[in-house]
Chains A and B, each alone.
Chain A
């Protein structure tokens, strides 16, 4: 761990973050930032995170969030919007998830009509998909709205927003890549050996207590002692947020129950475009 401290001072972390913004974002990937060559070549189709949250003021409503276009540096969001060649989808299984059936039977889809922040975005669904699987067409249109504006569709029941936001993900990504170098896009196809076996702890006296069990301190475990850093902190992205009554995600004729949720992007030829 002493070696690690000597080769990974805090300054180097800032340098790394800076280099990420300079060199085509090749060096970082977070929760799902830059996770395959295909999406690296089209960051507008790169889904970084998915969230499912109740409306904080109304438990009868749920908001689904899909974030795309990772690593937009601070102050650099101008002109960045959805890719008109990409179909953005939330896929939902709502019949039998609790007993092990995960087939999607509801979809929420979005497309944009043109490039740039003047684009109009169309929302489709939530509705039964035309096809189960990874090749999809759009379902019936619910309505259209402008990029960057909170809008209401579906007879006032669906709130939508697509626009620039701060990346909510937080992770000491630089250290993770030292622990598992394979996961860094920039290390492909021949990742180097690991150079760390520990995340960074600010002080040797930091206690490590897990679920009520005391594992000693960072120092007593030989952990790396250095300042941890959220690599995503200075970056923005594009958020897609759709909020609706939970009842819209209920199985046919049923009440809202357990759903399985995932997000996808797709293009007409299955390439990055």
Chain B
């Protein structure tokens, strides 16, 4: 973990934001079909989804490889396998409270971005943590250390440091960082991602 992602102990207000976020993440209300849309022209090609990606390293770390194809063909809020596997995988290492909290934070599997924030800095899981990862904008920056953020939640003390749950004292320090840093040079001009090697 770099200092950027060192998460200060949450204030009561911060904890409130996070808990509210977790609660809301546990259910969803299907919206009615789109209205006011003329729809596709007759004979338009209908495409069937074969791949899905939102938050990094959720499907890949928590879900068995054999289930990935089902997740890839699903809506991220109606996934037949991912939600239960987030918890069951985490239970291999952590307490029930920690596993349940991870499940509530990470499912539905969508990347949250707060476009109302007047900032030029993205920060992975920044919305869900009230800005504790660097910015309330959330989203994901090119140099965000998403692996260390994820490992810190799964194997470290991030959830208890945020005040979400008591520490279960089951941290695995050797699994809390992969010790590789971002060494790629993004441009400050569109399209931002570094030119190919």
Interface residues in chain A, defined as those with a beta carbon under 8 Å from any beta carbon in chain B: 29-32, 35-39, 45-59, 62-63, 65-67, 72, 74-75, 77, 86-87, 93, 95-105, 127-139, 150, 159, 161, 163-166, 168-172, 175-176, 179-180, 182-185, 188-189, 191, 197-202, 206, 208-213, 215-216, 218, 221-224, 228-230, 233-236, 239, 241, 243, 246, 249-250, 255-272
Q: Are the C-beta atoms of B54 and A262 separated by less than 8 Å?
A: yes
* Nearest CB in chain B to that of A208: its residue: B173
Query: In the complex, which residues of chain A have a beta carbon less than 8 angstroms from the beta carbon of B74?
Result: 134
On chain B, the residues within 8 Å of A210 by CB distance are 1, 152, 156-158, 161, 171, 173, 176
B31 adjacent to A52 (CB under 8 Å):
no
Residues of B within 8 A of A202 (CB): 179
Q: Which chain A positions have C-beta within 8 A of B59? A: 32, 35
Residues of B within 8 A of A188 (CB): 65-66
B120 touches A55 (CB 8 A): yes
CB-defined contacts of B6 to chain A, threshold 8 Å: 211-212
What residues on B are CB-neighbors of A77 within 8 Å?
196
Interface residue B46 (Cβ < 8 Å from any Cβ of A): yes
Chain B residues near A67: list those with CB within 8 A.
193
A202-B61 Cα distance, complex, nearest whole Å: 23
Interface residues of B (CB under 8 A from A): 1, 6-9, 21, 24-31, 33-34, 36-37, 39-40, 44-54, 56-57, 59-61, 64-66, 68-69, 72-77, 108-116, 118-122, 127, 137-143, 145-147, 151-152, 156-158, 161, 171-184, 186, 188, 190-197
- Give every chain A residue within 8 A of B29 (Cβ-Cβ): 96, 100-101
State A180–B65 Cα separation when bound (angstroms).
Answer: 11
Residues of A within 8 A of B73 (CB): 134, 270
Complex Cα–Cα for A67 and B184 (A): 15
Is A135 a contact of B113 with CB atoms below 8 Å? no
Say how far B121's CB is from chain A's closest CB, in angstroms: 7
CB-CB under 8 A from B146, the residues of chain A are 31
Question: Could you tell me the distance in whole angstroms from the C-beta of B150 to the nearest C-beta in chain A?
Answer: 10
The one of A54, A262, A266 that contacts B109, using a Cβ cutoff of 8 Å: A262
Tell me the complex Cα distance, A44–B169, Å.
Answer: 43
Whether B183 contacts A54 by the Cβ 8 Å rule is no
Say yes or no: B53 contacts A263, CB within 8 Å.
yes
Interchain CB contact under 8 A, A35 and B194: no
Query: Could you say which residues of chain A place their CB within 8 Å of the CB of B177?
Result: 199, 208
Q: Chain A residues with Cβ under 8 A from B192's Cβ?
A: 53, 56, 63, 65, 241
Q: Are B72 and A199 in contact (CB under 8 A)?
A: no
A139–B85 Cα distance when bound, in Å, is: 34
The verdict on A46 contacting B46 (CB below 8 Å), with A51-B141, A100-B29, A210-B157 known, is no
Q: Is the CB of B110 within 8 A of A261?
A: yes
Chain B residue at minimal CB-CB distance from A214: B173
Q: Look across to chain B and name the residue whose beta carbon is closest to the beta carbon of A189.
A: B66
- Chain B nearest CB from A225 CB (Å) reads 10
Closest Cβ of chain A to B90, distance in Å, is 13
Closest Cβ of chain B: how far from A132's Cβ, in Å? 6
Question: CB-CB < 8 A to A132: which residues of B?
Answer: 31, 33-34
- CB-CB under 8 A from A211, the residues of chain B are 1, 6-9, 152, 156-158, 161
Are A87 and B47 within 8 A (Cβ)?
Answer: yes
Known: A39-B50, A50-B53, A62-B113. A29 touches B60 (CB 8 A): yes
Question: A95 with B141: in contact, given A102-B108, A168-B184, A221-B173 (CB under 8 Å)?
Answer: no
- Tell whether, in the assembled complex, residue B110 and residue A93 are in contact, meaning their CB atoms are under 8 Å apart: yes
Which of A66, A128, A175 lies in contact with B37, CB distance below 8 A?
Answer: A128
